[in-house]
Amino acid sequence: MRSGLLALTLLLLLPGCASRMAANDDAVCRSGGADRGTEAYSGCRSQLAEEREQVSTQYLQNQQMYEPTPAVNSPYHPTADAVTVVELHL
C-alpha cells in the first residue's frame, strides 16, 4: 500500500521534478569539465541516472522489508507465555 502511494505521489510530482533533475545533472556534469554533446557528458548523465535508479530501488526494497504483513484470515492463537486474566467473584 505504501509503495503504491509513493509511486502515485512520484508520478504526480515527476513533470516538475524531472526538469529540475535534468538541470541539476547538467550542472554536475558541466562542473566536472564535460561539455554538452561529448561522450564524457553523455557518460556522466548516464552514471547519474544509474545511481538515482539504484537509490530508488534500494529505497523501495527497504520499504517492502519493513511493511507489515497483513494478518488476513489468521485466527488468534495465544502463545505458551500468554497471560490469562481470570476474574474471581467472591
Cα angle 50-56-44, degrees, rounded to a multiple of 5: 20
What was the pLDDT predicted at 50? Answer: 93
pLDDT in tens, the chain (90 residues): 455 555 555 555 566 777 888 899 999 999 999 999 999 999 999 999 999 899 888 888 888 777 666 666 666 666 666 555 566 665
Total-model pTM: 0.55
What was the pLDDT predicted at 60? Answer: 84
First CA to last CA distance, the chain: 51
